[in-house]
Amino acid sequence: MENQKIPYKIYLNEDEMPKNWYNVRADMKVKPAPLVNPGTLQPMTAADLAPVFCDELIAQELDNDTREVPIPDEIRGFYKMYRPSPLVRAYCLEEKLKTPAHIYYKFEGNNTSGSHKLNSAIAQAYYAKKQGLKGVTTETGAGQWGTALSMACAYLDLDCKVYMVKVSYEQKPFRREVMRTYGASVTPSPSMETNVGRKILAEHPGTTGSLGCAISEAVEVATSNPGYRYVLGSVLNQVLLHQSVIGLETKIALDKYGIVPDIIIGCAGGGSNLGGLIAPFMGEKLRGERDYRIIAVEPASCPSFTRGKFAYDFCDTGMICPLAKMYTLGAGFIPSPNHAGGLRFHGMSPVLSQLYHDGYMEAVSAEQTAVFEAAEFFARTEGILPAPESSHAIKAAIDEANKCRETGEAKNIVFGLTGTGYFDLVAYEQFNNGTMTDHIPTDEELAVGLNALPPQPTF
């Protein structure tokens, strides 16, 4: 293989695309902790979850044992419209950095929603349709998930109600309009339409909202309207399962050229892209077949892995959702207003949290001006305008490639480039104008959320 020139883009043929998702939980010796009922502090059963989620997705959520889950033909057909996504050898970046490292990135921004979120949106919409539901509700922050879900719902002729964090609704009118173009209704959150929205507005007049608050509203609307269920774009086990398509494609592409990654890097918000990218590699690691360095990169202003607690917590501000055991900053945590870089959820996927807790992966945090510096460097070198979220991974990949320059090691670095930044130009504008600032929360600031964790189950 040594002499075989590796192309700039490694594509797969349609028939090489994965036919199954891979469920990493099957290979975990310590399984992720179950979702828990906040009232009884007992694990949620399928029956408990049925009013909130679609039946087939509940089965996937609770299934810690099935290793391979067949991707239904209808979903594979949809995937083929925009997948396989390219695995790019970043020759230009390597040259600019003068690094002996070989850098690869898996680019998930080649669809209209602009990110990897479509991989799970189509799956969740498919199972809702199959159950004969009328529609789904969800929250969206920056808007990528809401956009992906509205595309999937339009394709399957399902109603889609999106609760969009108010500050984003106002700052990102174009994102909102894309969702409406695909037929979704978009409501700024907190709204006066729900009990929980009215309560939050009464307690915090003028609040510009948070993801946790939008989740509470979307769940309330799903559970109080017959024929509707709630869907979530990250954090949950089922979402990581669907996103495993990213890692499976990456592995098939690398295997074609006999490339074995040394380091795999992904940005971490709720953990779905990272969980998907690393899935098959983590499987090998868990089974003792191979070792990889796996690095999660999170914002210094929302540092759940690096400064959070591993504990049961609410996924939403309204405290109506089940508790999940995860690295968390507390459900009341809201990143400082100057935080522009996404990845603002207070918690982290229970699967990744358990793997991190058990020492199978590392985590680092990055300040946003350094992230945008990396983003701009990448845009000018590789051409793609990256999403700020993705740029956390770029930053860490560049750091690792620079270390290789010092040591002379030709490591293989693979990172996830989760999306494009066309809707983040206000943030880029701040960076270009030199008005972007960093905020690292103090221990005292973090203590507020961390000291307000709910009672912990004792089973």
Interface with ligand PLP (CB under 6 A): 115, 117, 144, 234, 267-273, 343, 387, 389-390, 418-419
Closer Cβ to ligand PLP, 84 or 133, answer by number:
84
Q: Which two tokens stand for residue 65?
A: 């044992």
* Distance in Å, CB of 269 to ligand PLP, minimum: 3
* Distance in Å, CB of 342 to ligand PLP, minimum: 6
Closer Cβ to ligand PLP, 99 or 420, answer by number:
420
Residue given tokens 């039946």 in the structure block: 55
In 3-state terms the chain splits into helix, strand, coil percentages (rounded to 5) of 45, 15, 40
Residue 9's H or E segment, with its range, is: strand 9-10
Strand locations in 92-171 (E): 102-107, 135-140, 159-165
Closer Cβ to ligand PLP, 263 or 277, answer by number:
277
Closer Cβ to ligand PLP, 133 or 384, answer by number:
384
* Distance in Å, CB of 388 to ligand PLP, minimum: 8
Closer Cβ to ligand PLP, 139 or 194, answer by number:
139
* Distance in Å, CB of 348 to ligand PLP, minimum: 8
* Distance in Å, CB of 368 to ligand PLP, minimum: 14
Rounded to 5°, angle at Cα 167 from 166 and 169: 60
Best CA proximity match to 125, nearest among 177, 75, 50: 75
Closer Cβ to ligand PLP, 315 or 343, answer by number:
343
Give me the phi and psi of 267, to 5 degrees please.
-75, 155
Closer Cβ to ligand PLP, 61 or 99, answer by number:
61
Residue number, nearest CB to ligand PLP? 419
* Distance in Å, CB of 418 to ligand PLP, minimum: 3
How does strand 293-299 pair with strand 309-314? Answer: unpaired
- Other beta carbons within 10 angstroms of residue 277's beta carbon come to 31
* Distance in Å, CB of 163 to ligand PLP, minimum: 16
Closer Cβ to ligand PLP, 194 or 349, answer by number:
349
Burial class (CB in 10 A: 0-12, 13-18, 19+), 372: buried
CB 416 within 8 A of CB 274: yes
Q: Which two tokens stand for residue 105?
A: 């990135």
CA–CA separation, 357 and 169 (whole Å)? 36
CB 233 within 8 A of CB 271: no
* Distance in Å, CB of 96 to ligand PLP, minimum: 23
